[in-house]
Amino acid sequence: MRLMSVDNDILWARDRLGYNVRLFRAQRGMSQGRLATVAKMDRAFISDVERGVVAASVEAIARLAHAFKIPAHWLLRVHYDVIPPANFSPARPPILLLMPDGERRDASAPAIGAEDIASRGLEMKDD
């Protein structure tokens, strides 16, 4: 099941982008500073992207992809075929929901059930 909300899709995309940037950076043994230099970006921005606190532009995503030598769309997809390095953390990206009251909640938490979601005015659909 997937929540139908533009805000949740935005949060998912930010979290996925951040997770993948960190994953590809760790695979290549790059520091945030080195990635920033290669991508011609600010190191603080790289950190913000990895934490999912900023909305990266299409240009920023393209610059990051170019630095990693991968297609840009790889930064937004789920990679079942990529094994994270042993020193990689987090083990999984958080799946965050933006609730109507502005609260961010982890969708994998057991407290999030169909009744809880419905009581907050969100819809669910089967994928």
The closest alpha carbon to 107, from 10, 12, 6, belongs to 12
Q: What DSSP designation does 9 have? A: H
Q: What percent of the chain has pLDDT over 90?
A: 39
* CA dihedral of 114, 115, 120, 126, whole degrees rounded to 10: 20
All domains of the chain in start order, with CATH:
2-94 (1.10.260.40)
Looking at per-residue confidence, does 72 or 84 come out higher? 72
pTM of the model: 0.65
Task: Tell me what pLDDT residue 126 has.
Answer: 46
Taking the CB of residue 23, how many other CB atoms lie within 10 A of it?
A: 20
Q: For the segment 35-76, what is each residue's pLDDT rounded down to a tens digit?
A: 999 999 999 999 999 988 888 999 999 999 999 999 999 999
Res. 21: pLDDT tops 90? yes
Ranges assigned E (strand) in 1-127: 2-3, 96-98, 104-106, 124-125
